[in-house]
Amino acid sequence: MCLAVPAKVLAIKPDGLHAEVESQGVKATVNLSLVEGCEPGSYVLVHAGHAIAILDEVEAGIRLKLWKELADLGGMGEI
């Protein structure tokens, strides 16, 4: 099973191909080569170190809430 995690873009790296993102307190660097128009403050769906889609804020909020509910139930552990 593959899972993708919603994350907020904090900064675009100078190369324009990578970004620092944050999801539930965890920061990571992700590759942006699969998405266009990503900016700081955007939300992206991250899978295997790559942003695979840009999410609007409402959709990101819904997905983040679901991740939190799963973690609270013990089904996902720490993200």
Q: What are phi and psi of 66, to 5 degrees?
A: -65, -40
Enumerate domains of the chain plus CATH numbers.
5-73 (2.30.30.140)
pLDDT band at 79 (very low <50, low <70, confident <90, very high): very low
Other C-beta atoms closer than 10 Å to the C-beta of 29 total 11
11, two tokens: 């900064």
Q: How far is CA 69 from CA 6, 18, 40, 59, 77, in A?
A: 14, 29, 26, 16, 11
| Model pLDDT for residues 26-62, shown as the tens digit of each residue | 999 999 999 999 999 999 999 999 999 999 999 998 9
